[in-house]
């Protein structure tokens, strides 16, 4: 396939039309010598549609550990010997405490996340009560990540105040069996469709650095676009001792930047969120990723890892000439 030129794609993406699969795979073939050219184009698109703003969101690990699934990257799987903290569903008071703090520091979106492929009925009822309380006590936009759900559960979440359901594809369809065998890629797609059918927006992305190819990554994002997903979290594998991917070689920074730049050109109008693993993988290049392609960020810690202190992330944004969206 012939390499496409910058001019051939610039007009298209600046008009808000994402790259075709053929064009995306063509860009993936650009050598690293052309990385600056690619990053410059991604930045132009990012600024065209999103200015200098970064959308902040936060999550709380609402139920941790003892998951029966075998996702090879996950510290919460009961199949692996990790040092993850294990606890049942958190109290409403603890959820509200973190939500209020996040609201004070400028976070707009807040999500409860529970371990496991799905959520038991007893815990689900308690989660609904927590969301009703958060809706009454905060002005946050509420998200949920409770594993696989059907349309009825999605409807109940929407009625409780949830606006967005989070459920990652994790990787491309063809690579998925290499990272999980206890459920399928099709199962994940079914949850996304159930959430959308109930009137919820969907936030779905994945993890790069699992050993997948660039083609696998692009296939994931192209599928998300086909599903109508407009919010895409980009996690970078942080190998956890005790998991099968504990010794996975980290991605070079240049490859991470190239990946998110092509993601931006595939989905010019979408929110791309820099999430777990960003600190060890990108270090001082986090600001570059945000400035060049990413317009969203998870702050305040992840599921099993602490992350940066919020003020450090805010200082990083301001130093890069960026600002939290309001």
Of 116-120, 139-143, 307-311, least confident by mean pLDDT is 307-311
Confidence band, pLDDT 50/70/90 cuts, at residue 9: confident
How far apart CA 179 and CA 209 sit, in angstroms, is 12
**pLDDT 10s digits, 18-75:** 999 999 999 999 998 999 999 999 999 999 999 999 999 999 999 998 899 999 999 9
Q: Say how many CA atoms lie within 13 Å of 115 toward its Cβ.
A: 25
Confidence band, pLDDT 50/70/90 cuts, at residue 84: confident
What's the CA angle centered on 194, arms 171 and 227, to 5 degrees?
Answer: 45
Tell the burial category of 136 from Cβ atoms under 10 Å away from its Cβ (0-12, 13-18, 19+): exposed
Q: Specify whether the CB–CB gap between 273 and 313 falls below 8 A.
A: no
**pLDDT 10s digits, 190-227:** 999 999 999 999 999 999 999 999 999 999 999 999 99
Would you say residue 304 has pLDDT above 70?
A: no
Confidence band, pLDDT 50/70/90 cuts, at residue 83: confident
Percent residues over pLDDT 70 in the chain:
96
Tokens at 202, concatenated: 């969907």
> In b/e form, how buried is each residue of 69-104, taking b as 16+ CB within 10 angstroms?
bbbbbbbbbbbbebebeeeebbebeebbebbeebbe
pLDDT of residue 208: 98
Of 78-87, 241-250, 295-304, least confident by mean pLDDT is 295-304
pLDDT of residue 2: 47
pLDDT of residue 303: 67
Mean pLDDT, residues 229-249: 96
How far apart CA 307 and CA 298 sit, in angstroms, is 9
pLDDT of residue 310: 87
186's CB contacts (< 8 A; 6+ apart) are none
What's the CA angle centered on 206, arms 274 and 144, to 5 degrees?
Answer: 80
Mean pLDDT, residues 317-322: 94
Confidence band, pLDDT 50/70/90 cuts, at residue 306: low
pLDDT of residue 307: 65
> Residue 294 CA to chain centroid, in angstroms?
11
Helix (H/G/I), strand (E/B), else coil: 167: coil
Query: Where is pLDDT greater, at 325 or 148?
Result: 148
Q: Specify whether the CB–CB gap between 145 and 114 falls below 8 A.
A: yes
pLDDT of residue 3: 52
How far apart CA 312 and CA 113 sit, in angstroms, is 24
Would you say residue 146 has pLDDT above 60?
A: yes
pLDDT of residue 300: 84
pTM (global) more than 0.85: yes
Averaged pLDDT score across all residues of the chain: 94
pLDDT of residue 155: 98
The CATH architecture to which 6-324 belongs is: Alpha-Beta Barrel (3.20)
| Main-chain phi, psi angles of 85, to 5 degrees | -75, 140
């Amino acid at each position: 396939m012939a390499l496409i030129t910058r001019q051939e794609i610039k007009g298209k993406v600046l008009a808000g039309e994402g790259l075709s699969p053929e064009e995306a795979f063509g860009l993936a073939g650009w050598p690293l010598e052309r990385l600056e050219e690619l990053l410059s184009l991604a930045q132009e698109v990012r600024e065209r549609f999103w200015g200098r703003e970064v959308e902040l969101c936060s999550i709380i690990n609402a139920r941790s550990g003892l998951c029966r699934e075998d996702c090879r990257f996950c510290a919460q799987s009961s199949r692996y010997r990790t040092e993850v903290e294990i606890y049942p569903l958190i109290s409403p008071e603890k959820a509200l405490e973190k939500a209020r703090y996040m609201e004070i520091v400028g976070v707009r979106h807040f999500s409860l996340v529970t371990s496991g492929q799905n959520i038991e009925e007893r815990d689900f009822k308690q989660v609904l009560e927590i969301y009703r309380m958060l809706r009454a006590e905060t002005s946050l936009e509420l998200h949920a990540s409770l594993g696989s759900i059907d349309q009825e559960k999605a409807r109940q979440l929407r009625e409780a105040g949830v606006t967005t359901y989070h459920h990652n594809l994790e990787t491309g369809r063809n690579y998925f069996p290499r990272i999980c065998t206890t459920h399928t890629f099709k199962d994940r797609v079914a949850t996304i469709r159930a959430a959308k059918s109930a009137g919820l927006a969907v936030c779905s992305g994945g993890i790069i650095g699992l050993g997948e190819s660039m083609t696998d990554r692009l296939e994931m994002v192209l599928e998300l676009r086909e599903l109508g997903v407009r919010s895409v979290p980009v996690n970078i594998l942080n190998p956890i001792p005790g998991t099968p991917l504990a010794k996975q070689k980290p991605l070079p920074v240049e490859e991470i930047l190239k990946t998110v730049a092509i993601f931006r050109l595939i989905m010019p109008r979408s929110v791309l969120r820099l999430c777990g693993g960003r600190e060890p993988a990108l270090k001082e290049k986090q600001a570059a990723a945000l400035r060049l392609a990413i317009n969203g960020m998870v702050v305040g810690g992840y599921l099993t890892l602490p992350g940066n202190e919020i003020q450090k992330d805010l200082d990083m944004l301001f130093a890069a000439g960026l600002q939290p969206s309001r």
